[in-house]
Structure 1
């Protein structure tokens, strides 16, 4: 198994072009995001600003940014203040090199240190790499909604995963 040897650090505004490019690769790959067309980098500045503590965005880099992870609010209602959702995206050329695992490790550590109780996320059923990564880190599949993602004239199931952090 590949081991990423770069560093993981908090994202800054200078990372927005790389973050956006990696995200737009996923848009075009049709396996990970509900956006169906590229997102402009200008839309990402407010997004990054909205991820201030206890949330956050981190990038994996060696000679370039290879991927990123964001901890985001699950729901704005007060009863969900200790539950977060997240997104992990890895550049095409860096997939399978340990970047996703390194980002997931950092994200779980940060979420735990920031006092979150649970992490939840949704994964499309046509994304075996994301499903495997969720299971590798102990996420438990807690639900499946058949055919709720409409994509290019067809439908894909959406899987829901959860990790309880403070047990």
Structure 2
């Protein structure tokens, strides 16, 4: 694989690669608790929703133009009181892992979320995924709690770990304000 050289906003043309990367994680890891691969149509609907709601989808592209990773954030919960909090995802192709690319994608998300005025970024990580937990710690996240047996996959119960990073200090919005 050629080393990644750019991170850029995703386009609809990137969705097949985003789908392949995500579905690999579905089939082989506990990075997502989805059990079955998702369809291109579902990724198209997800992408359209992200665009409509103003949330980023970024891709990492190697010097040959191949998408080797992607990252996004979206709403943490739909209630107004969570409007300054986002939940993120970062996924890499197996060949792109361990080269610092995930960190580049995550730092780009953090920068964008900070610029857009978000206060807190949350990640949900399988508690047995030590690599992802260390990755988040290196990027300023701390463990905020574990939900024992919150999910299941591959015939076993899985604990979900919430990791958080405060993006910036700010006063809380007034009651009823976003």
Q: Same fold (TM over 0.5)?
A: yes
Alignment of 1:125-164 (within 5 A): 125-164=127-166
TM-score, normalised via structure 1 length: 0.94
> Which structure 2 residues correspond to residues 42-81 of structure 1 after superposition, within 5 A?
42-52=41-51, 54-62=54-62, 63=64, 64-81=66-83
* Cα deviation digits, residues 104-132 of structure 1 (max 9, x gap): 11011011011100001110012122111
Task: Indicate conservation of the 8 Å contact 1:54/1:114, yes or no.
Answer: no
Instruction: Give 4+ residue runs of structure 1 displaced > 6 Å after superposition.
Output: none
Over the aligned positions, Cα root-mean-square deviation in angstroms equals 1.2
Gaps of 5+ in 2: 170-178
> Alpha-carbon deviations, 1:32-69, whole Å to 9, x = none?
00110111111111101111254110000012111000
Aligned to 1:90: 92
Larger radius of gyration: 2
DSSP 3-state at the match of 1:71:
strand
String of CA shifts for 1:132-164, please: whole Å, max 9, x gaps. Answer: 111001101000111222112211211001111
